[in-house]
């Protein structure tokens, strides 16, 4: 009995503080960004406290348990215990400014009678109310990178950004002259090779120490395009362009498409091609830069 209690207590602590360390510690910020760049599935796993607590509890139970009964108990209590203790710690650190009985849905004003959704210190009684809020909000003044240069995940209305492949992007460009391809890769990447006719507005700059944020990204796009402009966002594989599209959606742009596969193609962890890129499909490519399409001239407006 004492052995089981020890296993349960240890696994709950491992799940609680392990998930908190992975999701919040500055020491794991680089790891989180790297995971987000490489795998959408792993990024969802790391950012979801519920999923993270489960896998940590499972790992801890495999290390600590000697029988199937101990393993089952350790997984269940480690998973649920870690998740609810994390919620409690979040509530204590955030400090509920409003008693539960006085809360109202920020969108519709109805009483907030049960735990459903809390975002940015506001309460929403349903996903419909939350989505309505996302459709209406404009947050151009909000930075897209934090002080450590890590992209701030933008919460936008789910349909604000369309996902298309390079072939579909080329068809849109050929069929409607109002569409514009914005290559959000760094200036050296763009200069080496880029889709013909594309403009270069990097979301990150390439410098000697590595990639650094371009905090002027949204401002430069707004300087050159109206909020209802038809914009196609592309990068090397599709990760940076999705973040760029989310930032623009949060700023009020309404017709955005992320090009999955980007210029070089998207690959899974084994190196297999998931989505062919612009170059691999043999679509028109240009080298070098020219006035009016390069970043320095677009930044000047």
pLDDT at 141: 52
| Sequence-ordered list of residues with C-beta below 8 angstroms from that of 115, at least 6 positions apart, any chain | none
In this predicted structure, what is the pLDDT of residue 152? 65
- The pLDDT, as a whole number, for residue 189 is 95
Q: pLDDT band at 26, cuts 50/70/90?
A: confident
Phi, psi angles (nearest 5°) of residue 126: -160, 165
Cite the residue boundaries of each domain of the chain with CATH code 3.40.250.10: 158-300
Least confident of 67-71, 135-139, 284-288: 135-139
End-to-end CA distance of the chain: 72
Strand, coil or helix: 119: strand
Residue 47 neighbours by CB distance under 10 Å: 15
Name the residue among 252, 61, 253, 239 with its Cα closest to residue 151: 239
Distance between CA atoms of residues 123 and 103, nearest Å: 7
pLDDT higher than threshold 90 for residue 163: yes
pLDDT value at position 211? Answer: 84
Show the tokens assigned to 79.
């998973």
Which one of the listed residues 53, 105, 129, 235 is annotated catalytic? 235
Whether the Cβ atoms of residue 123 and residue 103 lie closer than 8 Å to each other: yes
The rounded distance, in Å, linking the Cα atoms of 15 and 108 is 37
Region 99-119: mean pLDDT is: 64
Query: 92 versus 155: which is more confidently predicted?
Result: 92
Most confident of 101-105, 142-146, 217-221: 217-221
Q: Which residues pair with residue 233 across a beta bridge?
A: 182, 258
Pair of tokens at residue 264: 């070089």
Task: Give the pTM.
Answer: 0.54
Q: Reply yes or no on whether the pLDDT at 263 is more than 80.
A: yes
Tell me the per-residue pLDDT of 35-74, one tens digit each, with 9 for 90 and over: 766 776 777 677 777 788 888 889 888 888 888 888 888 8
By three-state DSSP, how is residue 65 classified?
coil
Would you say residue 97 has pLDDT above 60? no
Place of tokens 């701030």: 152
105 is catalytic: no
Domain spanning 158-300: CATH superfamily? Rhodanese-like domain (3.40.250.10)
């Amino acid at each position: 009995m004492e052995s089981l209690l020890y296993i349960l207590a240890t696994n709950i602590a491992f799940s609680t503080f392990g998930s908190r360390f992975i999701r919040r510690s500055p020491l794991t910020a680089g790891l989180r960004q790297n995971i987000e760049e490489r795998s959408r599935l792993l990024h969802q796993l790391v950012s979801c406290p519920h999923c993270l607590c489960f896998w940590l509890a499972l790992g801890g139970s495999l290390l600590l348990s000697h029988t199937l009964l101990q393993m089952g108990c350790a997984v269940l209590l480690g998973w649920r215990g870690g998740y609810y203790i994390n919620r409690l710690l979040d509530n204590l650190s955030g400090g509920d400014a409003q008693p539960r009985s006085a809360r109202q849905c920020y969108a519709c004003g109805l009483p907030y009678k049960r735990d459903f959704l809390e975002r940015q210190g506001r309460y929403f009684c349903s996903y419909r109310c939350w989505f309505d809020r996302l459709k209406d909000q404009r947050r151009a003044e909000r930075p897209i990178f934090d002080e450590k240069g890590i992209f701030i995940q933008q919460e936008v209305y789910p349909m604000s950004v369309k996902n298309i492949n390079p072939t579909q992007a080329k068809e849109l460009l050929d069929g409607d002259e109002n569409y514009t391809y914005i290559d959000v890769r760094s200036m050296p990447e763009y200069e080496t090779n880029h889709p013909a006719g594309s403009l270069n507005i990097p979301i990150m700059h390439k410098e000697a120490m590595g990639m650094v944020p371009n905090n002027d990204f949204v401002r430069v796009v707004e300087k050159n395009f109206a909020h209802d402009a038809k914009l196609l966002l592309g990068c090397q594989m599709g990760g940076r362009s999705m973040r760029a599209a989310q930032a623009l959606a949060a700023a009020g742009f309404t017709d955005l498409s992320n090009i999955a596969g980007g210029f070089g193609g998207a690959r899974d962890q084994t190196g297999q091609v998931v989505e062919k890129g612009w170059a691999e499909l043999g679509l028109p490519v240009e080298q070098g830069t020219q006035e009016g399409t390069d970043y320095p001239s677009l930044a000047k407006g």
